[in-house]
Amino acid sequence: MGAPPGYRPSAWVHLLHQLPRADFQLRPVPSVFAPQEQEYQQALLLVAALAGLGLGLSLIFIAVYLIRFCCCRPPEPPGSKIPSPGGGCVTWSCIVALLAGCTGIGIGFYGNSETSDGVSQLSSALLHANHTLSTIDHLVLETVERLGEAVRTELTTLEEVLEPRTELVAAVRGARRQAEAAAQQLQGLAFWQGVPLPLQVAENVSFVEEYRWLAYVLLLLLELLVCLFTLLGLAKQSKWLVIVMTVMSLLVLVLSWGSMGLEAATAVGLSDFCSNPDPYVLNLTQEETGLSSDILSYYFLCNQAVSNPFQQRLTLSQRALANIHSQLLGLEREAVPQFPSAQKPLLSLEETLNVTEGNFHQLVALLHCRGLHKDYGAALRGLCEDALEGLLFLLLFSLLSAGALATALCSLPRAWALFPPSDDYDDTDDDDPFNPQQESKRFVQWQSSI
């Protein structure tokens, strides 16, 4: 099948399309985009479940590491203030992990923007295609109504005025038959008939994309705040802040793995669609609209092998309009000198014919496959290039985020164990009356005085 102009499946599409797929029984599933089939749905769910498996393994690893750290570390001598060996390495490994997470956040913002741009291009192309199809229907309706009005009024008036001349009446009736024939042929050009399929798809895609974009922005901001406040807690050696951020890091870790599963399944399904989109789009459009395969193939493929299915109607309509024009010129030469009252309906008919011919030329241009096929190509480029690229950057963000947070969760408990035990009061003034140490000394002095 012919590819739309400017669209070629990218290397990422080919790579993801070649990945093996399997259902819940681990039976191979073909890499053909078929979202309505249960086996294909199971294959995508299995891809998403791999992220759940990764989450489970990372939680098990973190739990084992922390249990080993809590239970197997050597006891410290009482009153010892010497930091345990490797403390600086633990703190710096946590800082490096958090900085890597911040890098992933920057990648995530870029991927989120790129995905949004691709979806916006898809929606714009669909809306433009819907406008073109609606314009075709409107022009056909307007032209047919004008021709019908001309048959009912001006041509009827001419017949009454020219009744004494039978040969002129025959010419008027010939123009009437040509106008009716042109209207009948033009009616068949309104093939879309107001089906709101592109508009519905564009609105649904925009609605989902709006909430997807907002959800990712909130996730990225949440992780950024967690990273920044964790670094602040490490810098100030604030144990309570580090503990709170550890709990938040665990929450963001779960969200990162969840988003990774959604992104992986979406990327795999999108690669299957983008590797050969024509069959699925043709079948879906035919089911929703009931149009013939000739019409759909002409607009979706737009190559020399597929002829214009409206060419015959356009030719017959143009021929009928040309005949009407020549008959009106003949009537103007023959009838106006003898019947001056025929001049007004003839001028009105010429005006109607000029408007009809202008609409006809617009229809010829709009019915050509170039315009709609260009919209189809723009929609595919937005979905399969920009949106898929942004999705892969989001997948990289989730991967970096999960790795960085897992490392931080392993390092943070060891880091706060190295904090001074009186870190909450190190910065208080000895003369501060609200200092708990000073209150304890005053209480002891009061007891001794009694």
pLDDT in tens, 208-265: 999 999 999 999 999 999 999 998 988 888 888 888 999 999 999 999 999 999 999 9
- CA 315 to the chain's CA centroid: 40
List C-alpha distances in Å: 429 to 82, 205, 233, 250, 356. Answer: 24, 60, 21, 36, 93
Closest CA to 277 of 245, 247, 300: 300
Residue 366 and residue 385: Cα distance in Å, rounded? 27
387 neighbors 101 (Cβ within 8 angstroms):
no
**Range with the lowest mean pLDDT among 220-234, 295-309, 356-370, 420-434?**
420-434
pLDDT in tens, 182-194: 999 999 898 888 7
pLDDT at 117: 96
pLDDT in tens, 261-287: 999 999 999 999 999 999 999 999 999
Domain edges within the chain: 38-70+91-419
pLDDT at 440: 55
pLDDT at 368: 92
* Residue 419 falls in which region: left (phi positive, over 0), alpha (psi -120 to 50) or beta: beta
Angle formed by the axes of helices 277-289 and 197-236, nearest 10°: 130
pLDDT at 268: 95
pLDDT in tens, 361-410: 999 999 999 999 999 999 999 999 999 999 999 999 999 999 999 998 88
Residue 265 and residue 98: Cα distance in Å, rounded? 27
The tokens of 96 are what?
A: 């490096």
230 neighbors 96 (Cβ within 8 angstroms):
no
Q: Report the predicted TM-score, pTM, of the whole model to 2 decimal places.
A: 0.84
Dihedral of CA atoms 313, 315, 317, 319 in degrees, nearest 10, equals -150
Full DSSP string of 152-176? HTHHHHHHHHTTT-HHHHHHHHHHH
pLDDT in tens, 88-143: 677 788 888 889 999 999 999 999 999 999 999 999 999 999 999 999 999 999 99
pLDDT in tens, 361-373: 999 999 999 999 9
pLDDT in tens, 141-157: 999 999 999 888 888 88
